Amino acid sequence: MPRFEPKNPDFRRLATDTFVRQKAMRTLGFSIARMEPGEVDLAMDYSPALTQQNGFVHAGVITAGLDTACGIAAFTLMPAGSDILTVEFKTNLLAPASGTRFVFRAEVIKPGRTLTIAEARAFALRDGTEHLIATMTGTLMAMQRREATSTSEQALSPA
């Protein structure tokens, strides 16, 4: 029996669509590996293009994965017509991000009508085992969905 019941029976399609619309996730090479109500695993392969000066995956990339995992986990419990926005998070970097693949596992701790609390853990895969490298606690806000506009579209719009 699932831990949470989704408010929208089409939650998988809508959460996947929300993830796909995040162009930053595509740029960084993230994908959805698993999704259940209130839970998600994202995955990303190692790329030297995402490293800092010592060859570890940059903390900003790790934080982006944790943040998005928390957001998608929360989104799976939102009603139809909702969208999700992070309002606060706390990240703990526990070990250097070195490995061949990275998994970002998030779960909702407390769903709410307006605010949802989620936690996520980032793991580096090395030698066939997962090594915990970072954690996050996030607060996410449900909001009414609106279409995104690009900065260039806003600049070209008449005032």
CATH of the domain at 143: 3.10.129.10
Residue 2 lies in a domain: no
Q: How many domains is the chain partitioned into structurally? A: 1
d(CA 67, CA 104): 9
64 within a domain of the structure (yes/no): yes
95 in a domain, yes or no?
A: yes
Kindly report, residue by residue over 15-68, the tens digit of the pLDDT: 999 999 999 999 999 999 999 999 999 999 999 999 999 999 999 999 999 999
Is residue 1 one of the residues assigned to a domain? no
Note whether residue 144 is domain-resident.
yes
The per-residue pLDDT for 157 is: 44
Q: Rounded to two decimals, what is the model's pTM?
A: 0.89
Mean pLDDT along residues 146-157: 53
> Does residue 65 sit within a domain?
yes
Question: What is the residue type of 79?
Answer: P
User: Is there a domain that residue 134 lies in?
Assistant: yes
CA separation for the pair 114, 30 (Å, rounded): 27
Task: Write down the pLDDT at residue 146.
Answer: 67
Asked whether residue 37 is domain-assigned, the answer is yes
For the residues of the chain, what is the DSSP string, one character each? --SS--SSTTHHHHHHHHHHT-HHHHHHTEEEEEEETTEEEEEEE--GGGB-TTSSBPHHHHHHHHHHHHHHHHHTTSPTTEEEEEEEEEEEE-S---SSEEEEEEEEEE--SSEEEEEEEEEEEETTEEEEEEEEEEEEEEEE------HHHHHHS--
Question: 67-122 pLDDT, tens per residue?
Answer: 999 999 999 999 888 899 999 999 999 999 999 999 999 999 999 989 999 999 99
What pLDDT sits at residue 149? 57
Distance of alpha carbon 107 from alpha carbon 118, whole angstroms: 6
Range of the domain at 49: 11-156
